[in-house]
Amino acid sequence: MPAITNDLPALAQSIKDWGRELGFQQVGIAGLDLAEHEQHLQRWLDAGYHGEMDYMGAHGSKRSHPEELVPGTLRVVSLRMDYLPGDTQMAQLLGQPEKAYVSRYALGRDYHKLIRKRVQQLAERIQQVIGPFGFRAFVDSAPVLEKAIAEKAGLGWIGKNTLILNRKAGSYFFLAELFVDLPLPEDPPHASEHCGRCSACLDICPTAAFVGPYVLDARRCISYLTIELKGPIPEDLRPLIGNRVFGCDDCQIVCPWNRFARASAEGDFKPRHNLDNAGLAELFRWDETHFLSSTEGSPLRRAGYERWLRNLAVGLGNAPSTIAVLEALQARRDDPSPLVREHVEWALEQHRTRQCSSL
């Protein structure tokens, strides 16, 4: 066995250095005791806050026991990759109700492929030095408590907005995990949290989705409503969604720690198809072929064409009553999807009600 496996602290340091060379901004090593987070997850599931995301409760105890998910696992290498694509004028766009707001993480190419490849490269690099070892890579995969692992690996603390926050990098980053069967030294967990008396994220949430600090009722969260939810969006929440058509960043935009977020140098995360500055009416005119070609390799594919139109209809219902907005809605009154038609009718009704009340 190569000498470096006898010097585990040196191997741990090398893994961090290689991770940074591969484009990750931070790398930490966590042990496997996630008991505290397991209880938090169970309370959250018991309250039904996960809505239709049944996968959150699936896989039994494997989610909080990495060694059950991948037998032989001894440590988890947690990795962070920043994604903010430069100056994306987030607040300005949210203030232009005829424009579509797409969550900043979803403007470019799908991150899963790029990050998985890099984690795989890291594993191969380790293998070149120490020989065969057991590993498995995860990127945003359902049965992994990625935020709990990141906190344990020292990457940051879980903020009141339920995201991992880092004092030097804010929260605009993806997380990935490399499960390994190596007894590497663990990094100290992020012991202190730095939210203090701030509650900006809880106060700004357009749909009041936080039950309290650190507890999100996903059923009210715009990210859930526009991406995960398959059926109709509850009517009482539609006016609160504004122009957010795929995800929501408000509880990150307002977070003071995001003053320290840095733009990503990854070309894949740069906005494509003018999605950082497109009008709702313009996007609503895309036919399915255009949608499929424009969202190839993009996280937007996750919602699918029907839900994309559903979300845009809600945005158009909340937009000013311009000719372009009304024409776009009228043109889809006979859409083949009952889901889309119902949202279009709701949107047109919003405009009728507003026009009548202004008379």
Q: How many residues bind ligand SF4 (CB under 6 A)?
A: 24
Among 90, 139, 209, 227, binds ligand SF4 (CB under 6 A): 209
Q: Give me 33's structure tokens.
A: 């005791």
Rounded-to-10 torsion of CA 101, 102, 104, 110? -170
CA atoms within 13 A on the CB side of 80: 27
| Paired sense of beta strands 75-82 and 101-102, if any | unpaired
| Cα separation values, 98 from 91, 317, 352, Å | 14, 10, 17
Among 207, 243, 264, 311, binds ligand SF4 (CB under 6 A): 207
Among 69, 248, 316, 325, binds ligand SF4 (CB under 6 A): 248
DSSP letter (8 states) at residue 55: G
| Paired sense of beta strands 210-212 and 26-30, if any | unpaired
Among 90, 102, 150, 201, binds ligand SF4 (CB under 6 A): 201
Using rule CB under 6 A, residue 237 touches ligand SF4: no
In 3D space, the residue among 321, 313, 305 whose CA is nearest the CA of residue 358 turns out to be: 321
Measured between alpha carbons, how far is 203 from 219 in angstroms, rounded to an integer? 17
Using rule CB under 6 A, residue 73 touches ligand SF4: no
Residue 149 burial class via C-beta count within 10 angstroms: exposed 0-12, middle 13-18, buried 19 and up: buried
Beta pairing partners, 180: 75, 135
Using rule CB under 6 A, residue 251 touches ligand SF4: yes
Nearer to ligand SF4, 8 or 254 (CB): 254
Nearer to ligand SF4, 104 or 160 (CB): 160
Q: Where are the alpha helices (DSSP H) in 153-303?
A: 200-204, 222-223, 238-241, 250-253, 280-284, 288-294
Q: CB under 6 A: which stretch of 140-148, 220-228, 279-287, 293-301 binds ligand SF4?
A: 220-228
Using rule CB under 6 A, residue 284 touches ligand SF4: no
Using rule CB under 6 A, residue 159 touches ligand SF4: yes
Residue 238 Cβ vs ligand SF4, minimum distance, rounded to whole Å? 13
Q: CB under 6 A: which stretch of 44-52, 86-94, 132-140, 219-227 binds ligand SF4?
A: 219-227
Q: CB under 6 A: which stretch of 59-67, 127-135, 146-154, 206-214 binds ligand SF4?
A: 206-214
Using rule CB under 6 A, residue 221 touches ligand SF4: yes
Task: Return the active site residues.
Answer: 140
Catalog residues that contact ligand SF4 under the rule CB under 6 A. 159-161, 165, 195, 198-201, 205-207, 209, 216, 221-223, 248, 250-251, 254-257
